[in-house]
Amino acid sequence: MTALDAGPTEAPRTFFFNDPVIRGIVYQIVVGLILVSFIAWIIGNTAANLAAQNKTTGFDFLWKTAGFDISFSLLPWSRASTYWQAFLVGITNTLLVAFIGIVVATILGFTIGIARLSSNFIVSSLATVYVETIRNIPLLLQLFFWYFAVLKTMPAVRDSYELPLDSFINQRGIFFPQPLPDAQFGFVWIGLAVAIVGVLVLRRWARKRLEATGQRFPVFLTSLAMLLVLPALVWLISGAQVAFDPPVLGRFNFEGGVQLPPEFLALLFGLSIYTASFIAETVRGGIQAVNHGQTEAAQSLGLKEGDRLRLVIVPQAMRVIVPPLTSQYLNLTKNSSLGAAIGYPELVNVFSGTALNQTGRAIECIALTMLVYLILSLLTSAIMNWYNARVTLVER
């Protein structure tokens, strides 16, 4: 019998660990055990240290009286308020500066980013200087500049600069009249909400009409008319009234009206201007990522430069702009914690600062603060991911 006549031979046996599947499972089990052991060691070590210092843990302190003042709050606050209310005040103050900062930074960033690509040498040069200067100066230093070098050098209360509409600015901030709507004004808000829904429906209908027939509808002017006319009609029909409480100079400060403290203004200016420089670069890169043939095609159709940007270039660039834009929104929200350096009562200053020092509950205060920033980041990412899915090009 020759070797060719021999029957089938068995495959050589190998060590089981050479199987990549088994080896991957073993690695994951080992890493998991190491991670669990590390976490257990941290928890045990922390518990032992707290016991040695006779410190207790828990969140019962949240319902105790805080006993400290907060200089700026959207919610009712007094020294008799609880630490839970201080936690809410910190969250609302953070959300306020983050929301307004995102809106201002987006508008400014898109403007500067488009200006960098302008054919006008002066405009593009000024935009380049802005971006290269602002983004290379530390944000904390910019906050100090706005707070100490700009706002704190304003005149004293009695020498305030008078602004239009009974508004004033001094070293204590900006003062402007407070609107006081009556009970009937709720119908106006309902009318505005209906107008917003109508605008969204109109934009969707106009887009489908443009895709089907190629005919454009004046969406902007129609939407603007709906947002202005409908609430105005409801206002006239309902008889709603709005009174204004203007700020009046008292003995030591203005009384009445609304006050925006310099800490809030400095943080808002610093965050918006700093983040806008990065958004501008994101917008510039997104526009340059669009194939130049798209611009030539738009020119061949006779579209003006503004229409080319609004209808052709920017919609295609958004799929490139949105992912890094999300990161800038997250950075702005988290950078608001630097407000503690200039005394703005945001979450870190109020809860992880004053409340932590008074209660000694470091683990609880830091854990709740981390949880808030985690939730804000996840919500922002979810909204931007939804928007990114809407603007992503779909092949047909």
136-192 pLDDT tens trace: 999 999 999 999 999 999 998 888 899 888 899 999 999 999 888 888 888 888 988
- Taking the CA atoms of the chain, what radius of gyration do you get in angstroms? 29
Task: Say what the pLDDT of residue 65 is.
Answer: 92
Task: Say what the pLDDT of residue 1 is.
Answer: 47
pLDDT surpassing 50 at residue 396: no
| Residue 127: C-alpha distances to residues 104, 116, 119 (Å) | 17, 5, 12
Given a contact cutoff of 8 angstroms between Cβ atoms, the answer to whether 339 and 263 are in contact is yes
> What pTM, to 2 d.p., does this model score?
0.82
Task: Say what the pLDDT of residue 395 is.
Answer: 45
The structure tokens listed for 324 are 């890094």
Nearby residues of 357 by Cβ (< 8 Å), 6 or more positions away: none
Structure letter (DSSP) for residue 82: B
| Residue 91: C-alpha distances to residues 87, 94, 333 (Å) | 6, 5, 11
Q: In this predicted model, what pLDDT tens digit does every residue of 170-186 receive, in sequence order?
A: 999 999 998 888 888 88
